[in-house]
Amino acid sequence: MSTTTKDARLAKLRALERAAQPLDPGANRRKKLRTLVFAAAERFLRRIDSQRAFVESESKGSGVLDYPISEQPIDAAKLLSVLEREVIQPGGHPASPGYLAYIPGGGLYHSALGDYLAAVTDKYAGVFFAGPGAVRMENMLIRWVADLAGYPPTAAGNIASGGSIANLIAITTARDAHRLTSADYPRAVVYLTEQAHHSIQKALRVAGLAEAQIRSVAIDGRYRMRVDALQHAIAADRAAGLMPWLIAAAAGATDTGAVDPLGDIATVAAKESCWFHVDAAYGGFFLLTDHGRQMLRGIERSDSAILDPHKGLFLPWGSGMVIVRDARLLEASNNYSGNYMQDAVREAGVLSPADLSPELTKHFRGLRMWLPLMLAGLKPFRAALEEKLLLARYFYDEVKELGFETGPEPDLSIVTFRWAPRGPDAARADEINRRIADALRADGRIFMSTTILDGKFTIRMAALGFRTHRRDIDLALRLLREQVAALS
C-alpha cells in the first residue's frame, strides 16, 4: 500500500473515531445524563402513591412520533419530557398501588439498578465460559426456585423473558421427552381447562402442535379442574386410539386465581404416563407463604412448571422462569452448537442458559432478580405476598357487604364479583357491570379489569403489586360503593 493511501486511510479512521465519539460519553456527560434520568425516575417514584393506575389520554402517546429517527441528536432534557408525557403517562400503570387489573406488575427499584449494571457492563450470561459468575448466579436462582417447588437435584430451568416463553420451553421439552413426531401430533392429546392461560395453546401452535387434540376438562364450582372428568377424558381418548400426552394445570388461573388440585392431577399423570405441567406464572411465588404451599401442594410432582418473577416477585416486566424436573430433557430439547462456539468449552457440571432455552445471546436477567433478593432478603417478599392473600380475603368480604355477588372464595389473591340486580334490571346486568368497570377506569385511581365467567360479564380484583395496601383496597371499595349508589 502506498504511503499516501495509508495516510488517507489513517486520517479517515481518525475522523470516524471522532464522529462515533458521542456513543461513549465521558464522565461529565454521563453525570449529566444520569442526573436527568434519575430525576425523572424520582419524579415518578415520589408521585407513585397518588399516580393514577390508568390514564386515559387524548393522544395515546402519538407525540413520540413527532421525533423520527434522524441524523441529528436531540436534547436530553427535551427527550425526557417527551418520554414522561407520551410514554410513561398514558395507559396502565402496573407499578401503581391502585393497579388491580389483569395480573399486576411490580418494578422493584433494586431490579432497576440491577438492569442498569447489567446493561452498563453488558455481561454475557448465555454461556458459562463467557460469564461464569453470571451463569452461576442464574443457576443459583433457578435452583432456589426449584427448591421452592420441591424439585429434586436433577432439575434445571431457565430465566426467560416471561411466562409465555417459559410455557413454550416447557411444551417443547414435553414434546421431545415423549418423542412425538409429526405423525403423532394429530393423535396427541392435551388436557387443560377453559381457565388455562391462552399462552399454552399459543405455545402448542408455535411448537408445531396445532393439530394436537385439546380437551377442555370440566371444572368445578371453584373453577378448578375436575379430576374425575380428567380421568374420564383420558380413558375415552385411549379407547379411541389417541395418545394422552400432556396435562397442563393452572396454579393460579389468570381470571380467577383458581388453583387446580395438583396432587390428584399428579397421581393421574403418573398413572397415565402423561407429562404434567403446572402453569404457576401468577401463583407460583405464593409458595413463599404457608397458605400458598398448602394450595400448591403437588407441584413438586410435576414434570415442569413456570413461575413469573415479574408477577409474584414484583420484578419489572421481562422475567419468567421455567423449571423442568429432569435437566437432561430440557437440555436435549435446546442444546445446539456451532463452529464459532468452539471456545465455549463446557464446564463439567455447570449448565449454561444457552443450552437450556432457544436463546443464545440474552439479557442478563439474573441480576435484576438476585439484587432485590440479596438487598432485601426473603422476609419482605413473604410479608408482601401474605399481605396480598389477606387483602383479597378482606376485599372479598367487604365487596359482598356492598351487595355485590362474588365468585368463590379466593384461592390466592384474585376476587371475581359482579353487580347482579334482581327484577327488571337483571337483563341489563352485563351492561351495568361494564359501566362500573368503565367508570373506575375513567377515574383512574383504581384500575380493575373484567372477564366473562359462566357467560356473565364479571369484574375482577387482582392484588399483587407490592405497593398495594389496605388503603388502596379501601379506596376501591369506596369507589364501588359510589358506583352502586349512583345506580339507584
Contact residues for ligand PLP (CB under 6 A)?
103, 162-164, 197, 199, 250, 254, 279, 281-282, 308, 320
Chain length of the chain = 488
For ligand PLP, give the closer residue by CB, 319 or 333: 319
Cα(473)–Cα(481) distance, integer angstroms: 12
Determine how many CB atoms are found less than 10 A away from the CB of residue 272: 18
DSSP state string for 228-239: HHHHHHHHHHHH
- Which residue is it, cell 465460559? 129
**Residue facing ligand PLP at closest CB distance:** 163
Cα(369)–Cα(378) distance, integer angstroms: 12
Interior angle at CA 262, CA 261 and CA 266, nearest 5: 125
Cβ contact 447:86 at 8 Å? no
Residue 445 C-beta: closest distance to ligand PLP, Å: 24
For ligand PLP, give the closer residue by CB, 171 or 436: 171
Determine how many CB atoms are found less than 10 A away from the CB of residue 387: 18
Cβ contact 465:97 at 8 Å? yes
Residue 423 C-beta: closest distance to ligand PLP, Å: 37
Residue 197 C-beta: closest distance to ligand PLP, Å: 3
For ligand PLP, give the closer residue by CB, 254 or 483: 254
SS3 165: helix
For ligand PLP, give the closer residue by CB, 282 or 417: 282
Residue 439 C-beta: closest distance to ligand PLP, Å: 26
For ligand PLP, give the closer residue by CB, 90 or 162: 162
Strand partners, 55: 91
Cα(21)–Cα(138) distance, integer angstroms: 34
Q: HSE-up of 137 (CA within 13 Å, CB side)?
A: 20
Residue 316 C-beta: closest distance to ligand PLP, Å: 12
Name the CA dihedral angle for 311, 316, 317, 323, rounded to a multiple of 10 degrees.
-50
For ligand PLP, give the closer residue by CB, 163 or 244: 163
Residue 102 C-beta: closest distance to ligand PLP, Å: 8
Residue 348 C-beta: closest distance to ligand PLP, Å: 33
Spatial neighbors of 36 by CB under 8 A, at least 6 apart, are 76, 77, 80
For ligand PLP, give the closer residue by CB, 148 or 250: 250
Residue 280 C-beta: closest distance to ligand PLP, Å: 7
Spatial neighbors of 142 by CB under 8 A, at least 6 apart, are 156, 157, 158, 159, 321, 323
Cβ contact 142:158 at 8 Å? yes
Residue 377 C-beta: closest distance to ligand PLP, Å: 25
For ligand PLP, give the closer residue by CB, 124 or 317: 317
Which residue type does 392 have?
A: A
Residue 272 C-beta: closest distance to ligand PLP, Å: 23
Which residue type does 236 have?
A: A
For ligand PLP, give the closer residue by CB, 192 or 477: 192
Name the CA dihedral angle for 425, 430, 434, 440, rounded to a multiple of 10 degrees.
60
Cβ contact 472:445 at 8 Å? no
43: which 3 cell numbers?
419524579
Residue 446 C-beta: closest distance to ligand PLP, Å: 20
For ligand PLP, give the closer residue by CB, 237 or 279: 279
